[in-house]
Structure 1
């Protein structure tokens, strides 16, 4: 049998996050669904190109699955169906994207939608451990529920004999009668069953996290098992041009084509996760992957991409394969599980897992109390030349101390490297083990003494507050040349008492020979008029109403004192601050102003962004970024998020919510000067944190969408520094280059600014030149 020579045909870049599902329509169009909360229709143009002609919006969370429902009585032209992590299913008019159908009933994320064989029948499955059968011709009718699995149902299909099959994370497949009665439960897979596909009128296929594909008879007998993938298999699709053939994709970054039970072709992609594969009627293969890109592969030479594109693609694949073979912390990168493993709960409190994120490895620990995996940090590469190193949780350290905290309790491990700031290491240790803040100095001195540190690292402050000098979280001498202090303008609140004459773009710094990118330190908003804030709080305190009690003047004074950088920690004042954050949104902005100042203090940061109050507070800040909210609240909410990076708890919570943060920034349409500076400062901090992470292309996409709308020079400069940092350091450089070049507005502006002779644009010109040199 001649092995088909499949090559890249088209690269479709428009989504900003993972493409979790791809499908086809009846007119050779491609449908894609993404974690960016949208789905898209791609129409063929010419021999091998596709154009995004419709973007389907309406879901409030990730769009996890998509399909084309053929014409039926209620929708004679057919509709596009999507399922989401918001627990709903939406139906769209194919051509204009109008929502024409909403189906609600699942109690958790919808992870598959598939047409039934009868007209107007739709099957769905969900993390709520059920599948449902909907009659879209009568959408208000109660759907039939297939209930019996013990975990998430990843897929549901109708078989050739008019029965239903469902695949589950409980490692089983169940067969159901048309009336919903259970026929049988099929066992054989040893891990989650992720996908199903009808192979013939008498058989069907299943794929699993156990890296196997099984062929089943419709009555439940296992006919064969196929191996080829080296990791989880997420998707399987029947190839209409191959007799007994299909395509599969998975966590090993590959698509494999099968015929007659043999793997006849392997297509490697420059990604780790190929979430979905679909076979087109012309034999082409479509993929959706973790880099947010839809790709089309073909065996027809007339549809091959041009030689330059093929060369770049092959180079990216080679880089990814080389990275996957490297050993990190004694483990081969390619053998470690991806982030999907974090969907499974831990077995015991404190259990750890190493998880591959792009070309990096993260260590996570299971918190039984929180019911979630907590990121402990990066696992560093093994260094055979290192002497005296101690391995702890997959990472090498100069020292791993045993610290006795409590009588009768086992000692707690404290890892430390000589090049670390002992105060920062001590603070991280306290946060991790939920120890009282008063232990900070004792733990730091313990490290200094036992590590025999004659001199402290250059980045260390040498005292118990690592936030007031040169530290990991605060820009010091290493800040970007020419970057004006983020506090150049006082917060805008709509009141003259709050304004200063300092403009946000009045920096007189000139460019230097020092590269502006990449940037490697967080920035912060420091400047404030506490007296003016106090007066505004007093004014608004009398207008609280709505059942909220007014505070005394002394209580207001205590709240304002929290805004002083070195203020004495006052637990009661923190409680009062949280209470004032419940004020009506119309009078909220001075409270937000105090909050953005207060979270610079590490002790207050740990209280505001703790695991109890912090997650809900982040959600509240994101709600203030809604396009219809007050501009002052929008701007100050962003400044709170910027200053949250002043210490570890705030930094971790903002990074955990980064996808929602980026989505909120993209949705802001009206931004005044101060809001523009706040938005790009937030993106700059995110770029410092994520530049070398798999999320970098998502952040780059956010910047590419936002920067063309930025009119303020200083704000635009900060956005360029953020974009340049990602371009310089991200592992997916090609993806980011493509996003920039694919934006004619931004790419053209970079070209014009790079040759500008305008003295007011010196910083912008220098940064534009450096970005262009990286393209």
Structure 2
């Protein structure tokens, strides 16, 4: 049965700034909260019109969240409740906007309000890292406070069993008893958790800046993870008109509609951020976005907007999508890294990065003291490729950048000429705008990056942050799932059967571009267990031998759909500290284990993962045991089985490539592992500007390859980069300059061997040559 399409139903104009929150109330009314310091009630008029009947005022700062609290003893008509950046919560009479309730207790912005399941109970959460439970039937009573998060608490809801769930920027979800006793902490998201929604009597949903949605049981078990967004997800709402249906919204102007775990529709809006989404009882979708507009979408043709309105809306969407190809500071917005880059630690205090968020760009600075990336502000524009000068305060400049330094304040102009010392210009900017002196290096590097200076003026005494070099991380994906092409179900180490059947070979299946990750699945579990048991008695050096039962549990981690307890995974992590001489069977278990979504998430989380990846990279040293080197590569290949592992390997890709180039003595198994790793990197990075550096690594490794299966995989990696790289001309020149590889391509393309692997090489060589 065809799924009904959603179309625009109504556009609600009235707010003058971002609409940060939308909610539904009785009789299909809509509530909205905005940065313009007001909230509004929209009443349906006719079939598809809404009228602003009440504007709620009283907050001294942005209104960040809103909800409808049903009638209770003290407020028999119900209450419109808002939270604000002024740290307060206000309750209004629905009909006339009178302030009936003021709650003070949070020490920072209130970012979430929601009704509890019991009459008169209100929940709130704040940037002060707490959530609170208020009894509004007795507003003078002290709230119950839930303390324990390490960062802002973005959302709070009461689950159907009475548990209080909180979601935080510290990447965790906590479950509490109503007396503020902590029940458990849920980890799995790799970035800020932004919203929660009760899905059923026994389950709830969470969404995150890591572009994933997770389904949890009320006792804290992660039941599933859903992918579909390619950027931050800000809001999630259950659709009461669709079985197991919900809607999500986020960065990049995207709303997605889901049935169970399947994304059935994407709605694109002509905006940068869709801050909030809510579903009406009739199944209509309501959005609040960064352009200050509320939009309603419906699948009921009777409520579709008129054709002209829909046409204008669709044209606006096309324009905003085209804007992603615009340049900011000499870089195409679409070519700048997404928020995933912020998982990679900075290399020096004050290092800056430009990060794409939808059609806009934000600037971040690395703080060594805080060990985190701090947002400096929005990069509003400036295209150095444009001709002519820009006037600013009566003077012409090559560039006049606009940078948002402070939320809510107008952008500050940063003028610059190429002949100026960027540090002098940065110092003048700091003095002129009374900014902290600590901004000097950040601003100077920002100028160097955005002005795209090929060289610095002779008077310059600084250095540029290499945004186009080693810190330029742009994970790419050619699929709707953010960075998660489906892994191959075949073991790629089985030679000729790794990619194609004989029938496929005979029909010249296009091997390039390759669009999915491969992995190593095949294993002899008994042999691994026997070797672990043998080495277990030899660990020494403070490592206590494990019992047979513990060893069996560790080996079971290698089963693709295994269930495990935290203690067993802790044992595996401890075993990874075994001496290198007996480490290889532990690595073999690890490469199998990281295929499991839950294990992948824990091995490559932001706490353990970066150090784990760095440890793996040390095992790629040329003087290490060949078995350790080969199995470490297999671990890195299989890390691509899920998003956390993929992201951390991509973040360390330059070290990975350097390690592969430095390897000299490669046996056949190691050659296959190395080329498989390069193939996965090529799938991820083919459409990115730095694909040329990866191609150079592939070419250098191909010169060392003697195994035919390994050479074929390297060839597929090279062809994938050539087919999809935005720097195709440069890449073509690089391949031709490697005369040994170029000559072999020509030679292999003219052969017609009977051997299956050589036949694949011949066909792939022909395909690569066509791209040249």
What TM-score, normalized by structure 1, do the two folds share?
0.49
